[in-house]
């Protein structure tokens, strides 16, 4: 895995873990929520509690592609595609889905090349 790809993955994970979520009437980061639920699991495994009930709030993970990335994909022409070494069909299908206002998934390999 290239360093750029690893860095991009870590930034995505950190972005979602550092967001604050409503949990037990307060705002908590995701890592604190996980920490508390691991404590519940530990108490259950040690036999201190008779039931294992996790407290997990509804969490919306950020989408892979934002509007800025969509605009970059739309603006790529044939020459730039060749320069970036992006597959012709990959770019064509992504541009088609963007024009149809559908969800697109940009894989890390392609995302690193576009950015």
pTM of the model: 0.45
- The confidence score (pLDDT) of residue 35 equals 87
- The confidence score (pLDDT) of residue 28 equals 83
- The confidence score (pLDDT) of residue 1 equals 54
DSSP 64-90: S--HHHHHHHHH--HHHHHHHT--HHH
CA angle 86, 62, 72 (to 5 degrees): 30
Report, as ranges of residue numbers, the positions in the chain whose pLDDT lies below 70: 1-5, 8-9, 12, 15-16, 59-65
- Total residue count of the chain as it appears in this document: 115
- The confidence score (pLDDT) of residue 48 equals 92
- The confidence score (pLDDT) of residue 25 equals 83
């Amino acid at each position: 895995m290239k360093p750029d790809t690893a860095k991009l993955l870590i930034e995505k994970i950190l972005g979602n873990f550092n967001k604050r979520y409503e949990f037990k009437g307060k705002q908590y980061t995701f890592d604190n929520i996980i920490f508390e639920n691991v404590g519940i699991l530990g108490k259950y495994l040690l036999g201190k509690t008779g039931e294992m009930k996790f407290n997990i709030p509804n969490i919306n993970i950020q989408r892979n592609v934002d509007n800025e990335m969509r605009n970059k994909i739309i603006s790529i022409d044939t020459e730039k595609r060749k320069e970036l070494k992006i597959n012709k069909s990959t770019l064509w299908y992504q541009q088609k889905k963007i024009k149809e206002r559908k969800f697109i998934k940009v894989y890390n390999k392609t995302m690193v090349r576009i950015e």
